[in-house]
Structures are given as C-alpha cells and as structure tokens.
Amino acid sequence: MKNRYALLTVDTEALPKRAEEDHVRRLMWGEHEKGTAGVREMASIGNEFGAKHVFFVDMCGAYERADEIREVMAWLNADGQDVELHTHPEYLPDEFWQKNRFRVRPKLMNRYTDAGKELFLLSHFADEVAKVVKRPVRAFRAGSFRWNTLTLNTLKKLNIPLSFNNTVAAMNIGQNPCSVPLYRPFYWQNGILEVPVTEKNILPSLGKSMWGKDMWARFQYPLSLYVRYRPWWASFIPYSVSKRDGFLVCLIHSWSLLYWDENGFATYKDDRRLEGYRRLLRTLSRDYDIITTKDLLDLVERGEIVPDKAPEETVAQPSSVSPLGR
C-alpha cells in the first residue's frame, strides 16, 4: 500500500455535437474507419497495471440509443470497471419531460429549482444504471459540472453517497454556484461525501480569465498545457501534479484517446494518445493506489482516509432551495 490514492474518472457520453452519426459507436466505443480508441482500450490499458476506472455513464445525450448505452455499461461492468451515474439532461428530448409532466425548461441542471424534477431525473437514470450493474449507484457527476444545492439534497434522498462535482474552474464560469479549493474528499453539511477533481490555480502567472475570475486548470487526459504529472523531484515546477499530492482525481472522457476533425467531430487519427495514456498510467500506478468508488467508501469506513469538512459559509443556496440539514 502506498497510502496515496488516485481515481481515474471517465465521463462516458455520446453528445450530439461531437459526432455526425453513430454517436455511441464513435464516442463511447471509439470505433472509426482508421482505427479504434474508446472505453475498451482505456479499460484494457488500466488492466495492464491492475487499475480499474470509474466510468460515469450518461444516457441523456444519446437518449434514442439507450439500448446501445446499456450494452456499453454491461461490457464495462463485466470487465470489472466501476460504472456510475452521469447526466446531461439539456440534451433530453422535450417529450421526455412532457410525458412525465415536468416543465421542459430550464434545461441546464444548475438552474433547476424544482426539487421533484431533479429527483425524477436522477432517480430515473440511477435506476437505469443499477439495472445493468445489479447494485445501487454509489456516485454521481453532473454533466459539465452543472449542479446546485438541490443536487446535493437529491443525492441524499436517493442514498447516493458520493458527489464528484466540486471544481472551482466550473464555478468560475457559472456552471455551479459553489465549489471550494479543497483537494481531498470532504463532507458537505448534509453528509454527502464530495470528491473534488484535482485542479490548480494558475492565476499568479496568467492573471484573470475572461470572466474576471481566477483561472484554474484540471488534471486531465489529454494533459493540459498547464497541469502536468511530474516526478517528485520536478514538482517545484508551477502547477505540477506529483506523488507529493496524496489524493488525485483525474478527469477523462470516453473520447479522450481520439482527436477532433475540421468539423469538430471525434475521429481516430493514430495511437499517440493511446500510448500517452499508457505512459501516464504506468507512472500513476507506480506512485498511487488507483481505487474505485467502492474502495474509497471502504477506506473512509476503516479510517484510512479521513475526509475534511467544507466551510459552512461556502454552501450557496439557490433561492427556492431549502438549506442543507446536518
């Protein structure tokens, strides 16, 4: 045991704007005319190093292809991967809401004020995931990190113990009302355990962003221009991530091993990103215990990871949402 922990979190989605056709095949399976680089290849690379991914699966972006997405979840589950809940409800057809007697708007989840609508949304798709993986959902990540306090209350009602939504970068561009610069798991006031995406404040050298807020960059793959994983002896370089960081959450997408063509659609070009990902996991697996959501909950229960607490004043309240209970 290294007593340093990392989670490889993969937003697994087939959004309409990222492919011209066959969205699940192209954006989840990563199958293209010149080659394949999708969730199977990602899982296979992880398996080489004894590492399982956390695949946050969205069924909203390709709602009409639900059966295909169930096949993806079933394959991942059979491979021993950790399959959890992700939602991009802004892409759901209007009929989805109308037949269930909810208003279509607002479409973006961070703007929801109807507790019943959010409860229905998360309950519906959590049930979809649970039917495939044969267990309750343990964790949720909102599409584009669009969440609000209503989301935390809903997770509590649904007994989903883990939120993977805290990111200051998203807060600073208006995608959520309140994220805090904490890097380890912490408890919100209602007992939901938050697992923040690893990110670095790059303000000191680059100044304010176009939104007039501090600039933050995430630890993700492909690696950003700012936040790089480096050996411990090079960790003095600004914005480095290294094994000096005792807890890491890496942000990945199901299409992260692909490239974008001139139309903004995902395409396979070569294996360079695939091989780069293999190099990253070789290093991470040497420096960290790569864990799943089940592992995380077990480590917390045993006292081997002791979560922090969010400062009470940081919890923003949408106007029609009741305060979090203790």
46-98 pLDDT, tens digit each? 999 999 999 999 999 999 999 999 999 999 999 999 999 999 999 999 999 99
Residue 319 lies in a domain: no
256 assigned to some structural domain? yes
Token pair 């699966």 is found at 57
Residue 12 domain-assigned? yes
pLDDT-based confidence at residue 213 (cuts at 50, 70, 90): low
Residue 184 or residue 201, greater confidence = 184
Instruction: Determine, yes or no, domain membership for 325.
Output: no
Would the pLDDT of 146 be above 50? yes
Report how far Cα 31 is from the mean position of its chain's Cα atoms: 22
**Residue 324 within a domain:** no
pLDDT at 211: 45
Structure confidence at residue 240 as a pLDDT band (50, 70, 90): confident
Residue with tokens 């990190």: 145
User: Could you tell me which residues come within 8 angstroms of residue 231 by beta carbon, excluding any fewer than 6 positions away?
Assistant: 242
Q: Does residue 321 lie within any of the structural domains? A: no
Give the separation between CA 167 and CA 113, rounded to whole angstroms: 21
* Distance of alpha carbon 122 from alpha carbon 126, whole angstroms: 6
The per-residue pLDDT for 319 is: 32
Which of 231, 242, 124, 118 has the alpha carbon at shortest distance from 183?
Answer: 242
Crossing angle of helices 39-48 and 272-287, in 10° steps, is 40
Rounded distance between C-alpha atoms, residue 133 and residue 75, angstroms: 10
Domain assignment of residue 60, yes or no: yes
Range of the domain at 163: 5-314
Residue 321 pLDDT > 80: no
Number of compact structural domains in the chain: 1
pLDDT over threshold 60, residue 145: yes
CATH number of the domain where residue 230 is located: 3.20.20.370
Instruction: Please tell me the predicted confidence (pLDDT) of residue 261.
Output: 96
Q: Evaluate whether residue 196 is within a structural domain.
A: yes
